[in-house]
Structure 1
Amino acid sequence: MTNARTWDDTLDDLARRRNHSHGMGGSERLDKHRGKGKLDARARIERLLDPGTFHEFGTLVGGDTPADAIVTGSGLINGFPVMVGAEDFTTVAGTIAPGSNSKRYRLAELAVRNKVPLVMLLEGAGFRPSGDHYGRTPTDLLAQAQCSGKVPVVTAVLGASAGHGALIAPVSDFAIMSRHGAIFTAGPPVVKVSTGEDVSKEDLGGPGVAIPSGLIHNVTDTDEEALDEIRRYLSYFPPSAWSYPIAAEPDEFSGPRKTPELLDIISRDNRTTYDIAAVIDAVFDTKDWFEVQPGFGRAIVCALAHLGGHPVAVVANQPQVLAGSIDADAADKAAHFISVADAFHLPIVFLADNPGMLPGSESERSGVLRSGARMFVAQTTATTMKMHVTLRKAYGFGSMVMSLIGFDGQTAAYAYPGATMGAMSAAALSGASNADDDLGAQLREMELEASYRSAEHMGFDELISPDETRNALLTSLERGIYARQVAAEPVARTAIVP
């Protein structure tokens, strides 16, 4: 009986301490937080994970400070394990102390050790002012950086996120923000003291700043939508770089089919625009594909889709924006997306229809060549399967960044008949050389013959009709999948990124 009473007292004490941690910042602060239309930290984790799968660690870290302002643990998303951390803004503004720093480090360390994704849900004010000495305690960013390229890293900014805690966002593969979110190096009070600038959280780092800067990839209206989008995003990826993406079970959408609608969508006139989204709808299994960074670098569409049930990454020029010319933002977006896809062995499908890199003084000042070089290095060093289709045109360096380059390891390279290519368009060459009308007409005729001349010299595997697009890519993908006869491993990066 003595032992039983001792255990009762001990377990009651443990329960009391756990309940204190689960209470977060207390009912008043929680009510205020929820009154703004936001979920609290624990509710965010509950929404993100498969029901009933959350297993917490570090519950008692912080002592009187519940969970030391960050809830950490593991759970399942779509039946697969993940590590997850959620900053608790209702507890000392979600700030970081030595204990919570250790929890964050442990979270990322376990993600790599267990080869599972890491998800961070941010709403915190950075390091907590205190007399505690950090010394040489390893910062969580060391472990988070070690996750890069090894396990998928996803961040959601669901409130104001400042300073050290915010730094996981630019390290992430994918960062999403709710309309309540804001992210910055330092918050408005620090900015006011440091620079004299009086600025709101929204104007400093809200969606209107974070999306155009390229820091945040996607934005949603609510916490719930952001968390659901994370689940969708991760469904395209393997648990880690030590495994391959998992194909869906065959269904009515995953088999071969013609794509005659492309004959109507894609005009033979290079000057007529169309929406590349309609092409993606037609070519891939369903219209329910996932676009990454739709509000940034809009001249290129980066998307996650399925082809024959296999998760793939799509990099496509958008003729509706800048006539498909690739500007610095589009190249930067594509370079990051290609690197992420390559790291986790997603086949990449390039759909090219561009007149080249965007020319002009403003484009040059934005660093278009450096950004283009960044995209070029990303795609030429990619070790995953690459498949290319030139839909109508691909000129100069704009063709190279879209994987239209010989001996570049493509699994497949296709073009439509009449596709135009070369150093520059006939119109641009005529203007640059002051060609007369007869020579200009001759240049245009040569341009139209370019696809045939290239095919005659094996510049493409085949010229295909638009209605053959899906089946050509599907056949090439299913053949290329057979290259996966050895265990998957993280990609070794050997190039210096421009």
Structure 2
Amino acid sequence: MSWKETLEDLDGRRERSAAMGGPERVARHRAKGKLDARARIAHLLDPGSFQEFGALVGGEIAADAIVTGSGLIGGTPVMVGAEDFTTVAGTIAPGSNAKRYRLAELAVRNKVPLVMLLEGAGFRPTGAHYGRTPTDLLAQARCSGKVPMVTGVLGPSAGHGALIAPVSDFAIMSRQGAIFTAGPPVVRESTGEEISKEELGGPDVAVPSGLIHNVAETDEDALDEIRRYLAYFPSSAWSYPPAQLSDDSTEPRATPELLDIISRDNRSTYDIRTVLDVVFDTPDWFEVQPGYGPAIVCALAHLGGHPVAVVANQPEILAGSIDTAAANKAAHFITVADSFHLPLVFLADNPGMLPGSESERAGVLRAGARMFAAQTTASTIKLHVTLRKAYGFGSMVMSLIGFDNQTAAYAYPGATMGAMSAAALGLASGAAEEVAAQLREMELLASYYSAEHMGFDELIRPEETRDALLTALRRGIFARQQVAEPVLRTAIVP
């Protein structure tokens, strides 16, 4: 054969792979308001940056139902895989399993993020025996804590393929997404239950369960959010988060707005999100998992141009009490932030862990212990501000307790703290009104007593919040005088 014939043969094979499931199937897919696998990758990556591998795997089955390769997001290399639902329902066979394994292997080898875009029906019945062929999940698990892992669920995702989502740092779903151990046909055969894929694992199920962090309306929105999320992170645990310095971000700025937002009356509520709008560089911060455990707000933001991870009590929900879902959410978020060296900013305003029989049945103490283990073993920069109150174990999970390796710990004057509130202590002890009044007076003086004994580095005015945090952050960042490395964890997670 001549070079001309050889290369024409290669081009033909590539064209068959690029056609995915064929024009009719691709058209039906697009008619549902979805992007196809290749269009998803094109939307996610910087224009013209995609370099595919494994295009010829699968032979007549185009790319063996998963498009894999590398590209750039904001100029940073990433590895990306997109299941192709138009080709045998995006199912996994030995060839596509090998591609998925290679994808994750290269992410760790090259120290770059891994992005998986899911819409597939799990393993494909092929009759082939995998033997000791390594499963892709082994390589994906080895990415954890080493490179950022993000999953987009953009259609129904079942079985083995779906397992990358709970392993990931961040998982986002489109409104047409659904995720489950097994799809409706298998459920019907196994249990007799008749159920739709939306009822089985759509956003109304996957978000309340905590499996999926965020929801986007369309494929395009989900892909845009993935780009936005990754902008806060370094390419791997071997590097530090990228700063976005500008004149606006580096200038001192008072925050007098907080005097109007945060009432001195501990019983008055406010939206902690308005505090984040004021304290951080712009209101364009990124909230993670807003639909789960809303008593804590977890957000990615910039402070003085530096990416930070914010853990803040939400007084509008349960008066800021920390319930099981909120603690579990925060524990995962803290671990992800610490793994990639994002400084943690704790904004505390809570009356403690949520009490009550329902809360106990939900395992609130175990979840609280999980959050405590995450934050106390975190080796990244930790900054703390008690805005109004932080009681009992609720203060410890928010990094208030002394000698917990904080870079800085602040409180507002009049902030109350201790084992429990004066009102709760008076009721629990059966104190007379005169004693109860003394307890309340002592509570109001608690911040000064604590400051006098170095319980805080300083009491600050609300107007000083941003500048105090920024000064401490810059000082903490100066400690980065050695090469970044993955975090070694030794605690057993509760």
**Pairwise TM-score range, normalised by the shorter structure:** over 0.9
Q: CA deviation at 1:250?
A: 1.8
How do 1:144-293 and structure 2 match up within 5 A? 144-293=140-289
The alignment's TM-score, normalised by the length of structure 2, stands at: 1.00
Match for 1:35 among 27, 31, 35?
A: 31
- Report Cα offsets for 1:275-302 as digits up to 9, x if no partner: 0000000000000000000000000000
Structure 1 distance, partners of 2:179, 2:53, is 27
2:363 — aligned with what? Answer: 367
2:396 equivalent to 1:400: yes
- Report Cα offsets for 1:310-339 as digits up to 9, x if no partner: 000000000000000000000000000000
Letter in 1 for 2:137: L
Q: CA deviation at 1:366?
A: 0.3
2:346 equivalent to 1:347: no
2:458 equivalent to 1:467: no
2:354 equivalent to 1:358: yes
2:61 — aligned with what? Answer: 65
Consecutive unaligned residues in structure 2, runs of 5 or more: none
- Report Cα offsets for 1:217-252 as digits up to 9, x if no partner: 000100000000000000000000000001013232
Q: CA deviation at 1:131?
A: 1.0
1:138 is paired with a residue whose SS is coil
- Report Cα offsets for 1:126-175 as digits up to 9, x if no partner: 00011111111000000000000000000000000000000000000000
- Report Cα offsets for 1:438-476 as digits up to 9, x if no partner: 111100000000000000000000000000000000000
How do 1:305-320 and structure 2 match up within 5 A? 305-320=301-316
1:376 — aligned with what? Answer: 372
2:401 equivalent to 1:416: no
Structure 2 distance, partners of 1:356, 1:248, is 36
Match for 2:51 among 43, 55, 58?
A: 55
Structure 2 distance, partners of 1:298, 1:48, is 29
Letter in 2 for 1:59: A
Structure 1 distance, partners of 2:251, 2:17, is 51
Letter in 2 for 1:356: G
1:45 — aligned with what? Answer: 41
Letter in 2 for 1:99: G
Structure 1 distance, partners of 2:252, 2:322, is 32
1:384 is paired with a residue whose SS is coil
Letter in 1 for 2:14: R
- Report Cα offsets for 1:173-208 as digits up to 9, x if no partner: 000000000000000000001111100000000000
1:90 — aligned with what? Answer: 86
- Report Cα offsets for 1:389-427 as digits up to 9, x if no partner: 000000000000000011110000000000000000001
2:310 equivalent to 1:329: no
Letter in 1 for 2:366: R
CA RMSD between the two structures: 0.5
Letter in 1 for 2:378: A
Match for 2:136 among 130, 140, 145?
A: 140
Q: CA deviation at 1:355?
A: 0.1
Query: After the TM superposition, which parts of structure 1 deviate over 6 Å for at least 4 consecutive aligned residues?
Result: none
Letter in 1 for 2:48: G
Structure 1 distance, partners of 2:396, 2:470, is 23
1:175 is paired with a residue whose SS is strand
Consecutive unaligned residues in structure 1, runs of 5 or more: none
Match for 2:434 among 431, 434, 438?
A: 438
1:209 is paired with a residue whose SS is helix
Asked if 2 retains the 8 angstrom alpha-carbon contact of 1:254 and 1:285, the reply is no
Q: CA deviation at 1:436?
A: 1.3
Structure 2 distance, partners of 1:392, 1:356, is 12
1:267 is paired with a residue whose SS is coil
Structure 1 distance, partners of 2:282, 2:264, is 25
Structure 1 distance, partners of 2:92, 2:390, is 50
Percent identity between the two aligned chains: 80
Structure 2 distance, partners of 1:131, 1:433, is 70
Asked if 1 retains the 8 angstrom alpha-carbon contact of 2:381 and 2:476, the reply is yes
Structure 1 distance, partners of 2:83, 2:296, is 34
Q: CA deviation at 1:254?
A: 3.8
Asked if 1 retains the 8 angstrom alpha-carbon contact of 2:323 and 2:353, the reply is yes
Letter in 1 for 2:296: I
Structure 1 distance, partners of 2:391, 2:226, is 36
Q: How many residues align?
A: 494
1:128 — aligned with what? Answer: 124
Structure 1 distance, partners of 2:434, 2:278, is 40
2:248 is paired with a residue whose SS is coil
2:297 — aligned with what? Answer: 301
2:454 — aligned with what? Answer: 458
Match for 1:479 among 475, 480, 484?
A: 475
- Report Cα offsets for 1:21-63 as digits up to 9, x if no partner: 0000001110110000000000000000000000000000000
Letter in 2 for 1:156: G
Match for 1:13 among 9, 15, 19?
A: 9
1:425 — aligned with what? Answer: 421
Q: CA deviation at 1:434?
A: 1.1
The alignment's TM-score, normalised by the length of structure 1, stands at: 0.99
Letter in 2 for 1:252: D
Asked if 2 retains the 8 angstrom alpha-carbon contact of 1:163 and 1:186, the reply is yes
